[in-house]
Structure formats: C-alpha cells, structure tokens
Amino acid sequence: MNNLKSSGFTCWLTGLSGAGKSTLGIEITKALEELSVPCEYLDGDVIRTNLSKGLGFSREDRNTNVARVGFVCGLLNKHGINTIVALISPYRDAREQLKLQIPNFIEIFVDTPLDVCIKRDIKGLYKKALAGEIAEFTGISSPYEQPLNPDITLKTHKESVSQCVETVINYLQRQGKI
C-alpha cells in the first residue's frame, strides 16, 4: 500500500505510569469515532492480561510486549484501522524499532513529571515501588527513556484532557491523516 490515505496510522502514547496515557487514549479514540474515523484503542493494562500474559518486566520482556503490540497495530493499519496505544514502553530502542516497522507511526510523549505521577497514583503502585515491594518499576527502580524527538508532546500537568485531545486531532488533520 503506497497510498498513505488507504492505510491506517498508529498514535503511540508513551510516558510514565500515571502520566495520563490511558485517559488520553480513551478520549482520543472517542474524538476520532465522533469524526467517523475507524480506530481501535489498545491499553497497556489490557494487553498485559491478554496478548502479553506471562511476560515479566525485564528489559527483554518489556521490549517483547512493545513489539507484540506494534505487530498488532501494523496488521490493523494495513487494513485501514487506525490504532491508539497507551503503553509505558520505557525503552527508546523499542519505540525506534516501531517507527521502522509501522509506516504511519506517531509518537506521542505524555510528558508528566514523576512527582505529579506519584501524586496521581490511583493504584498505589508508586507507594509499593518506593517501599521496595515492586521490583523493576519504571521511573523508580527501572529507567524510562524519554523520546528524543516525539511527533507530539503533551503536558497533562499543564493542559486539560480536552486541550491534549485537541492537540492530537489538530496534528492528525494537519498531517492529512484524518
């Protein structure tokens, strides 16, 4: 498929736990559906319990998880289904590999400071990680490598959800994706 309009795109939201990726992913998906843009939302937590069940949190397992999700996105995109992904995907090399494999890959960095993510910790994961109860927790005992040149950067600690969604929709329109 050489015609970019005939294939889908992938919006990949990356960032720390608690940054707002899932909330934004859901709202971006709703906004696209309202515009009659076919899309599928893939959430990291749901992926972990289905597609990537059994994987741990080592670098290799995390990269395998990212690669699996990227493979699904590529299949859907090939058939004109756009994908919105909310996945920590902490390692830059795994995300860079996605850019090579998915023709219409849009990296969206949900740039929220660690202290804000810790305050938002609805699941209590940071509290457990800081107490040493969770090993290999991204941002605490395991690294998060920020994107060097993301297509979009969203600052959920400074902008509302609707402002962030509008930024993504405007980008997609400017790029001729929708």
Please confirm, yes or no, whether 36 is among the known catalytic residues: no
State both tokens at 90.
């902490």
Angle at alpha carbon of residue 150, lines to 148 and 155, rounded to 5° = 105
- In whole angstroms, give the CA distance from residue 15 to residue 28: 16
Judge whether 9 and 104 are in contact, CB under 8 Å.
yes
> Residue 21 annotated as binding?
yes
Q: Residues 6 or more apart from 30 whose CB is under 8 A from it?
A: none
User: Strand runs (DSSP E) across the chain, as ranges?
Assistant: 10-14, 39-43, 82-86, 105-110, 152-154
Judge whether 9 and 171 are in contact, CB under 8 Å.
no
Q: Residues 6 or more apart from 6 whose CB is under 8 A from it?
A: 80
Q: One of 6, 7, 52, 89 is an active-site residue; which one?
A: 89
> Residue 20 annotated as binding?
yes
Specify the length of the chain in residues: 178
What are the binding residues for ATP?
Answer: 15-22
What are the binding residues?
Answer: 15-22
Cite the active site residues: 89
